[in-house]
Chains A and B, each alone.
Chain A
Amino acid sequence: MSRETRGAFAIVAGDAQADRVVPPTGFTAWLTLFSAAAMAFLAVFAVALALATGRLADRWSEELARTSTVRISAPEGQMAAQTEAALKVLRTTEGVKSARALSDTEQRELLEPWFGPDVPVEALPIPRLIEIVETGEGYDPQGLRLRLSAEVPGAVLDDHTRWRRPLVRAAGRLRFLGWVSLALIGGATAAMITLAARAALAANSQVISVLRLVGARDSYIAQAFVRRFTLRALTGAAVGAALGVVAILLLPRAQAEGGFLTGLGFQGVHWLWPLAVPPLAALVGYVATRAAALGTLRDLP
Chain B
Amino acid sequence: MKRRRCKGAAVIELENVAYSYGGGELLSEISLTLQPGSFHFLTGPSGAGKTTLLKLCYGALVPTAGHLSLFETEVRSMTRDDIALARRRIGVVHQDCQFLDHLPVADNIALPLTVSGRDTLEQESNLKELTAWVGLSHRAHAFPPELSGGERQRAALARAVIMSPDVVLADEPTGNVDWEMSLRLLHLLAELNRMGKTIMIATHDLALIRAAKTQVQARVLRISNRRLQLAGADL
Residues of B within 8 A of A297 (CB): 80
> B85 interface residue, CB < 8 Å from A?
yes
Contact across chains for A21 and B115 when beta carbons are under 8 A apart: yes
A20-B103, A207-B100, A298-B80 are contacts. A214–B111 as well, Cβ < 8 Å? yes
> B102 interface residue, CB < 8 Å from A?
yes
Other A-B pairs beyond A211-B115, A215-B88, A217-B85, 10, CB < 8 Å: A210-B98, A210-B99, A210-B100, A211-B100, A214-B88, A214-B112, A215-B112, A215-B115, A217-B80, A218-B84
A215-B85, A215-B88, A217-B81 are contacts. A210–B102 as well, Cβ < 8 Å? no
Contact across chains for A214 and B159 when beta carbons are under 8 A apart: yes
Residues of A within 8 A of B168 (CB): none
> A146 interface residue, CB < 8 Å from B?
no
Contact across chains for B84 and A23 when beta carbons are under 8 A apart: no
Contact across chains for B87 and A21 when beta carbons are under 8 A apart: no
A20-B103, A301-B61 are contacts. A216–B115 as well, Cβ < 8 Å? yes
Residues of B within 8 A of A66 (CB): none
> B94 interface residue, CB < 8 Å from A?
yes
Bits for B146-164, please: 1 = Cβ < 8 Å to A, else 0. Answer: 0000000000000100010
- Chain B interface residue count, CB cutoff 8 Å, equals 26
Q: Which residues of A in the span 114-161 have a Cβ within 8 Å of any Cβ on B?
A: none
- Chain A interface residue count, CB cutoff 8 Å, equals 23
* Nearest-neighbor residue (CB-CB) of A204 within chain B: B100
The 5 closest A-B pairs by CB, nearest first: A215-B87, A215-B88, A216-B115, A23-B102, A214-B112
A17-B119, A215-B112 are contacts. A23–B100 as well, Cβ < 8 Å? yes
Measured CA separation A21–B6 after assembly (Å)? 39
> B60 interface residue, CB < 8 Å from A?
yes
